[in-house]
Each structure stands twice: as C-alpha cells, then as structure tokens.
Amino acid sequence: MTITLADPAGSPITGTRPPIASLRNQRAPRPVVIPPDFLSAVTSQSKVTSCPHNLYKYPARFAPEFAREAIRSFSQPGDLVMDCFNGGGTTAVETIALGRRAVGYDISSLACFLTEVKTTPLSIHDERRLLHWSQSLDALNEAAAIVSWEASDTEDGYYRRNLPPCALLFFSNVIAQLNGLETLRQKRFARMVLLSVGQWALDCKNHLPSIPEMRAQFQRQLTEAVTSFRQYTRNVAKSLDIPPHELLRRRTIVHASSETCGSGAPVKHGSVSLVVTSPPYPGVHMLYHRWQLFGRREMPAPFLLANCRDGDGISHYILGNRHEEGLTTYFNRLTNIFSAVRPCLKPDALVIQMVAFNNPKWQLPAFLQSMENAGYRQALPDATKTSEDGNLWRIVPGRRWYAATNKKSSGGNEVVLFHQPA
C-alpha cells in the first residue's frame, strides 16, 4: 500500500518544511534522559577495530560502542532488540553480547549473510580445519578455477562485470577449493574473509595487488579472523554463563524488507523493547551492494563471493531514487516501514536512529513527519551537548562517502533521533 506523505494541513511535502521548533511543539515530546556513557559513545570518533565488527567494513555502519551503550542504557537482559535496517549486524552482535535477544531485517541478502556469520560461533574443530585449509590452498590452473566461478555466475556473466582478471582468477581459485572444508559454517566464514580481502584489494583502490599478494592477505586474515572470532564468542558465552552454541538461539535474521515485520512471525506483536537502527540516509549516495573499481566502475562480485544473489539497483537498497524531487518514495517507504514496526513494540519501547541528510533543512522535518505519520512522536534528549534544535548531532568519522566528503558539510554530520509510540 502506498501512503501519501502530507503535512498537518494535508498538503503534499515538497522541498521545504516548517521550522524544527514548530514540529517539536506540536509533538509535546517527552525528554529522554541520556546517561554519560551513551553520550560519549554518540560523539566517539574511534575506528572500528574489534572482532567481529572488523571482519568486514559494511558501508555506513555505526560504531559498536554506540549500539552497545544504547542497548545497555535503554533495555534490560532478556529483552528483544530490533534493527529494522540490519546492515552489517552491529546491533545484533552487541545485543547478543549484552544478554538480550536480537532480531534484524534487511532487504539485502549480503547484509543478512554477514550478520549470520558474525553471530555463528565456531568450534575448536572449525578453527583447526579452517587454519589447516587456508595454509594448503593450491594454485589451480586457470581453466579449472574459472569453471568453478561460472557454475555460480549467471549466463551473461553478471557477477564478473568490471572484475579485473587477476581478481577473478584469485576468487575462482578459493571458491573452487571450498569443498575442502567440511561444514557450511566453515565455508561461510571463509567466504566472509574472502569478501574482506576483495574489499581490501579492489574497493575504491588505485592499485590492484597481484594474485600472490591476495593469497597471502587471505591466509593472513583468515588466521587472524578465525582465532580472534572464536576467542570472542567464547568470552561472550562465558560472560552469559551459557555454552557458545546457545548464542545462535538469541538471534533471528530475516532477509526481507522491514515493511513485512508487522505480519506476526517471527516477531510477535508487543514483544520488542528497543529499536536501534540506521536507516538509509536520504539524498546521500551510498553503495551498500557494490564495490567500485578505481572509485568508479561498480562490481556486483560481493554477492557471488557470499553465495548470495543480487540484481537490483541502488534505489532498491536506499528506499528510493535520491534524485527524486521531494524524495517522496523514500519518505513513503520510511512511513510504511515504521508503521509495520509499530505493532511489534511494547507500549514503552524506544526507537533510536542514527541518520544523516543531504539537506537537513527540509529533510530532517520531513523525516520527523514520516515518523509521526507512522504513529510515533519524537522524544528529545535531556543532555547538555544537544544542538540548537535540541537534537544530538555528531561529525561523521572517516568513512567511504560518495557525496559531501567535506565533514563541515551537511552530509558529513549525523543526528541521533529518539522516538516513542504515540
């Protein structure tokens, strides 16, 4: 169902909106008390270096400490925490580590793959098998390697588009030897490391490494990743006083648009205590589903490396065409999604969003209006470091932006928004 976005007077939204203060007064928001640790996490500029968050650099991910402090501050152990734009799984990972239950929705099969792997513990046998396998990778002949790739690619070679021959041969070589691993979780973990190496080698790079360099990087990263990941999951399980395999029962990842989440299964109505999420940024060009060779030519190869399927354009992943006047499709879908989320929430649930805008002067009011149309009212933070509009803004740390790379510009700033069911 399509919802027409309109202001309180009933006129369609165009390029301008009322001042923030007038919308805030209409909502009569209830303030949210912000603990000091959460405020520090919001403004943190630290890089993501901890396992498992560092296993793959998902575009526009928020810092683990932001998700961690949001969950710690605004939920209780055993609560169900939702991320309706799951992305690389930061919320899910931190939710499980803090003794809550996680549910994540994402329209991207690549995002769901990454989250599932990051939240699937490995056994000591898995660790030993992966380490032995990585050190025994053979150099296959070119014909055998390419055959393994073609068996998974489409007839028109879609997943080879813009992929350099050296990278194609290296990826094909590794994929062809995945049968040397024994279990699906071993193969999926190896694929995630292969994704990370591909990103290191190709995404927005001006120099392409050789096949021997890529193989050495893969072996090095796999050794580091499998060792640190298993240690991480053991530590989490120990802190929760449960066996590591029980961590799997604490997460549900759904490959679907969040527009479907109010239908009942797998999320019961009135069961979610907290939503921590980062919607696609309206008007900001961000590739969630491609790498870019030399920063220009787009490659769909990540999906095949993860054994997933793609084929959709960027507007499929960012809720609409960023060039559309008024971003009507984006705000319609945003309203649809949070309307679907609304029945899943407990009456006292809190929705926390981190978002940036190409033009916040009109896009932020339109965003807030969409949330109001979906059945929410904004809750302003009760904190000393808010901006003139009463919101918590932060400067975006080093990140792969495709628009507004100047951090003093609009696209270089993010805002943390709080909403409660109306």
**What is the C-alpha separation between 360 and 135, in angstroms, rounded?**
51
Rg (CA), the chain: 22
Is pLDDT of 141 > 90? Answer: no
For residues 32 and 25, the model is more confident at: 32
Q: With CA atoms as reference, report the closest residue to 188 among 308, 101, 269.
A: 308
**What is the C-alpha separation between 226 and 230, in angstroms, rounded?**
6
Q: Which CATH superfamily is domain 20-107+256-285+322-421 in?
A: Vaccinia Virus protein VP39 (3.40.50.150)
Asked whether 125 and 203 are in contact (CB, 8 A), the reply is no
**What is the C-alpha separation between 230 and 342, in angstroms, rounded?**
36
Q: With CA atoms as reference, report the closest residue to 144 among 168, 176, 171, 170.
A: 176
Asked whether 80 and 91 are in contact (CB, 8 A), the reply is no
Asked whether 94 and 61 are in contact (CB, 8 A), the reply is no
Tell me the per-residue pLDDT of 182-229, one tens digit each, with 9 for 90 and over: 999 999 999 999 999 999 999 988 889 999 999 999 999 999 999 999
Residue 411 binned pLDDT confidence (cut-offs 50, 70, 90): low
- Report pLDDT for 29: 54
- Report pLDDT for 406: 44
Question: b vs e for 260-297, b when ≥16 Cβ sit within 10 Å of the residue's Cβ?
Answer: ebbeeeebeeebbbbbbbbbbbbbbebbbbbbbbeeee
Question: pTM value?
Answer: 0.89
Tell me the per-residue pLDDT of 103-135, one tens digit each, with 9 for 90 and over: 999 999 999 999 999 999 999 999 999 999 998
Tell me the per-residue pLDDT of 361-394, one tens digit each, with 9 for 90 and over: 999 999 999 999 999 999 998 877 778 888 999 8
Which amino acid is located at 60 in the chain? A
**What is the C-alpha separation between 102 and 223, in angstroms, rounded?**
28
Q: Tell me which of 3-7, 23-27, 141-145, 169-173 is least confident.
A: 3-7
**What is the C-alpha separation between 205 and 94, in angstroms, rounded?**
31
> Residue ranges of the domains in the chain?
20-107+256-285+322-421, 111-250+286-315
- Report pLDDT for 136: 86
Distances (CA, A) of 218 to 131, 173, 201, 260, 385: 11, 12, 10, 38, 43
- Report pLDDT for 170: 93
> Quick one: angle between helices 109-118 and 184-202, nearest 10?
120
